[in-house]
Homo-oligomer: A and B are copies of this chain.
Amino acid sequence: MQDTHAGQQTRERILGCAEELFGRKGYDAVSVADIAQACDISTALIYYHYTDKESLLRALIDLASEVFDVHTRAAVEGEGTPRERIERFIAEWLETAGSHGSLLRILVRPLTDPEGPLAGELLARIAYTIEGLASVIAEGIEAGEFAPVDPRLAAESLLGLVNTRAAADVLNVPPRDSRDESVRFVTHLFFSGIAR
C-alpha cells in the first residue's frame, strides 16, 4: 500500500462510507462487510488500506477533531470579547454539526457509552473542547462579563446544550426550526436563561 492517486481516492471513499454508517448505526452495529457493500468493494480491500476495523474509527476521530477543533481554537485564541467568541462558537459548531452530523455522533458517543470502542481517545477530544470553553468563560468572569460561575460546569453545559440542539434533529419529525433559530435560542438561553 503506497500513495497513488487511485489508492488515496479509495481510502477516502471507504472513510466516507464508514463515517455515514458508524454515525447512523454505531460502530458495533456496523460490520466491515456492511462498509464494503456500501462502497461496492470487497472487504479484503478495506484491509488492504486499513489495518483493522478500529483503525477506521481512529481515522474518523482524527477527521472529526480536524473539523470541530477549529471552532474550539477560534473561541480560545480568536478576537473579540469572551461573549462574542462564545456566540461565534455556538453558531459555527451548530453549522458544522448540521453538515457533519455523523462525525459529531461518533465524537460524543462515549457520553452514553463510556466503555465503547476508543472511548478514551474520544473522551480526550471532548475534554479538550471543554477545557477550551472553560478558559474562555473564566476569562469572561474575570472581565466581569459573566457571573462568577464554575467555568468547567458552564463549559460542559454549553457543549451539552449545543450538542443537544444538534441531536434534536433526530427527535423532530418535522425539520421545524431553521439553524438560525437554534443558534439564537441556545445563545439566549446560555447567557440569559428563560426567566422573565
Contact = CB atoms under 8 A, between A and B. Distances in A.
B112 A112 contact: yes
A116 interface: yes
Contacts of A154: 185, 189, 194
A144 B111 CA distance: 36
A53 interface: no
Given A116-B25, A193-B192, A185 B149 contact: yes
Contacts of A156: 164-165, 168, 171
Contacts of A111: 112, 164, 167, 170-171
Please report whether the interface of chain A is mostly helix, strand, loop or mixed according to DSSP.
helix
Interface residues of A, number: 57
A191 interface: yes
Contacts of A186: 157
Nearest to A177: B153
Contacts of A113: 25-26, 29, 105, 109, 112-113
A149 B159 CA distance: 21
Contacts of A194: 137, 146-147, 149, 154, 190-191
Contacts of A123: 170-171
Nearest to A196: B147
Interface string A140-157: 000011110110111011
Contacts of A110: 170
Contacts of A78: none
A172 to B, nearest CB: 8
Most buried by B among A116, A130, A145: A116
Interface in A118-164: 123, 126-127, 130, 137, 144-147, 149-150, 152-154, 156-157, 159-161, 163-164
